[in-house]
């Protein structure tokens, strides 16, 4: 079982931003930038192109809605999108409010306190509809 399935099952906590029957979005705990969010299908699949085309398009549709909320809630130049990384074998879309290209490089990381994560997630969740 992946760490993201444990989050989906409520076994470990997350800073939730949005959720529906099939997808969940929560803050990345080691963010490239403030508001860095992961969008995850509740059905555990390893790789994005393991998804059916319908599931893939539905994931992108949900990610679009989350990105709109991010743009409203987090001051940034734009929201970047990336499907990358080998760490967690459970599909996840990275949505990252960026101000420069380094924000997309997964090298420079932001440190946030628990209170900052909580407040940020609440602010984004308020803008999600
Ligand atoms: P990757 O598979 O390389 O895209 O990396 C997985 C991403 O998930 C990284 O950006 C981690 O910071 C993030 N991550 C890992 N565990 C958690 C967690 N428990 N809550 C939120 N984000 C996580």
- Nearest-CA residue for ligand 1 atom 22 is 28
Determine the pLDDT at residue 20.
96
Question: pLDDT averaged over the chain?
Answer: 97
Mean of pLDDT values over 94-107: 97
> Beta-carbon neighbour count of residue 124 at 10 Å?
27
Share of the chain above pLDDT 70, in %: 100
Determine the pLDDT at residue 85.
84
1, 15, 28: residue to mutate for ligand 1 pocket, most atoms within 8 A of CB: 28
User: φ, ψ for residue 39 (rounded to 5)?
Assistant: -110, 125
DSSP label at 93? E
**Residues with Cβ within 6 A of ligand 1?**
3, 14, 28-30, 38, 84-88
pLDDT digits (tens, 9 = 90+) for 42-92: 999 999 999 999 999 999 999 999 999 999 999 999 999 999 989 999 999
Classify domain 3-75+85-127 by CATH number: 3.30.428.10
Active site residue 94: no
**Cα end-to-end span (Å), the chain:** 30
Each domain of the chain, given as residue ranges in start order, spans 3-75+85-127
Catalytic-labelled residue, pool 36, 90, 92, 94: 92
d(CA 35, CA 70): 7
**DSSP codes, 13-27:** ---EEEE-SSEEEEE
| pLDDT reading at 129 higher than 90 | no
């Amino acid at each position: 079982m992946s760490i993201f399935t444990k989050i989906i099952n409520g076994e470990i906590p997350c800073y939730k931003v949005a959720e529906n029957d099939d997808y969940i979005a929560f803050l990345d705990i080691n963010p490239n930038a403030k508001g860095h969010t992961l969008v995850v299908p509740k059905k555990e699949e390893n790789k994005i192109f393991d998804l059916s085309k319908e599931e893939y398009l539905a994931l992108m549709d949900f990610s679009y809605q989350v990105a709109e909320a991010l743009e409203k809630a987090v001051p940034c130049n734009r929201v970047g999108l990336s499907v990358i990384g080998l760490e967690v074998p459970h599909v996840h879309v990275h949505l990252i409010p960026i101000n420069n290209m380094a924000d997309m490089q997964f090298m420079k990381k932001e440190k946030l306190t628990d209170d900052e994560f909580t407040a940020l997630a609440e602010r984004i969740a308020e803008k999600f509809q």
